[in-house]
């Protein structure tokens, strides 16, 4: 049986487009500022503290990226119709429609779509994105001079940080980026003194 594709709300799609290390912060800020009263009539954030601006700075580039992906058919979308159920939204429609991520709606030209769902056309999109993020993270660790205790420990941490990352994807990153010091990473052999042998 073919694997069912994940269909995101617009908010979930924006979150999926964020680098994984920014997702928890985005969720926290969205819970605080993501409602309809956060924005002024011109669509810009209302004057306020630095957290509001940070939310805007996380959100808006991803909304723009989502729109670009929808317009270029990298993502597909549907809307909900009470009589007919889910119906496709064609890529050209996104030239006229603007998304409202708080309510997962899209409107334009006097029309409003509700129950909007989006998903990547390429089913490996999430794993490819996770692999790229893992690669950047490993480069950062190498530059910091970090030496892992073992490859498996590093894999477990990468798997936790980058949802969608496969072991094979991690291994590709590892083999591409590991310095020679990491070759020796792993369980250290016990010395005779610590093993209780004479």
Residue 26 lies in a domain: yes
Place of tokens 């580039």: 61
Q: Mark whether 18 and 92 lie in a shared domain.
A: yes
Residue 195 lies in a domain: no
Q: What tokens were used for 160?
A: 């936790």
Q: Mark whether 94 and 130 lie in a shared domain.
A: no
Q: How much is the pLDDT for 107?
A: 94
- pLDDT at residue 111 tops 80: yes
Residue 131 lies in a domain: yes
Q: How much is the pLDDT for 32?
A: 82
Q: How much is the pLDDT for 39?
A: 52
Residue 1 lies in a domain: no
pLDDT digits (tens, 9 = 90+) for 140-191: 999 998 888 889 999 999 988 887 788 998 998 888 888 887 876 555 545 4
Residue 193 lies in a domain: no
Contact in structure between 24 and 161 (CB atoms under 8 Å)? no
pLDDT digits (tens, 9 = 90+) for 4-15: 567 889 998 898
Contact in structure between 60 and 67 (CB atoms under 8 Å)? no
Main-chain phi, psi angles of 111, to 5 degrees = -115, 145
How buried is 167 (Cβ within 10 angstroms: 0-12 exposed, 13-18 middle, 19+ buried)?
A: exposed
Residue 2 lies in a domain: no
Q: Mark whether 112 and 131 lie in a shared domain.
A: no
- pLDDT at residue 110 tops 60: yes
Supply the range of the domain harboring residue 131. Answer: 125-183
Q: Mark whether 103 and 148 lie in a shared domain.
A: no
Q: Mark whether 30 and 111 lie in a shared domain.
A: yes
Q: Mark whether 112 and 32 lie in a shared domain.
A: yes
Q: Mark whether 109 and 84 lie in a shared domain.
A: yes
pLDDT digits (tens, 9 = 90+) for 25-43: 998 888 887 765 555 545 5
Calculate the CA 66 to chain-centre distance.
12
Q: Mark whether 172 and 96 lie in a shared domain.
A: no
- pLDDT at residue 94 tops 90: yes
Q: What percent of the chain has pLDDT above 90?
A: 36
Region 94-102: what's the mean pLDDT? Answer: 92
Sheet with 75-81, edge to edge strand ranges: 85-89, 75-81, 111-120, 105-108, 98-100
Q: Mark whether 56 and 111 lie in a shared domain.
A: yes
Q: How much is the pLDDT for 132?
A: 83
DSSP secondary structure, 46-114, as one string? PS--HHHHHHHHHHHHHHHHHHHHHHTTSEEEEEEETTTEEEEE-GGGGGT-EEETTTTEEEETTEEEE
- Indicate the SS3 state at residue 115: strand
Q: What tokens were used for 146?
A: 């970090």
Q: How much is the pLDDT for 113?
A: 95
**Number of domains comprising the chain:** 2
pLDDT digits (tens, 9 = 90+) for 112-144: 999 999 988 887 777 778 888 898 899 999 999
Q: Mark whether 96 and 167 lie in a shared domain.
A: no
Q: How much is the pLDDT for 89?
A: 95
Q: What tokens were used for 128?
A: 């490819």
């Amino acid at each position: 049986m073919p694997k069912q594709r994940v269909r995101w709300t617009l908010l979930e799609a924006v979150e999926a487009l964020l680098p994984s290390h920014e997702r928890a912060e985005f969720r926290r800020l969205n819970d605080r500022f993501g409602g309809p009263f956060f924005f002024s009539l011109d669509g810009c954030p209302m004057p306020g503290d630095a957290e509001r601006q940070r939310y805007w700075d996380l959100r808006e580039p991803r909304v723009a990226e989502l729109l670009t992906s929808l317009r270029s058919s990298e993502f597909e979308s549907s809307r909900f119709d009470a009589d007919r159920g889910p119906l496709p939204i064609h890529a050209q429609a996104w030239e006229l429609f603007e998304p409202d991520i708080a309510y997962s709606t899209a409107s334009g030209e006097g029309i409003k779509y509700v129950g909007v769902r989006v998903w990547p056309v390429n089913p490996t999109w999430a794993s490819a994105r996770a692999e790229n993020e893992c690669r950047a993270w490993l480069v950062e660790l190498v530059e910091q001079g970090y030496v892992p205790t073992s490859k498996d420990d590093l894999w477990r941490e990468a798997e936790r940080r980058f949802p969608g990352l496969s072991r094979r994807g991690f291994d590709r990153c590892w083999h591409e980026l590991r310095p020679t010091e990491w070759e020796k990473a792993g369980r250290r052999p016990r010395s005779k003194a610590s093993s209780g042998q004479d």
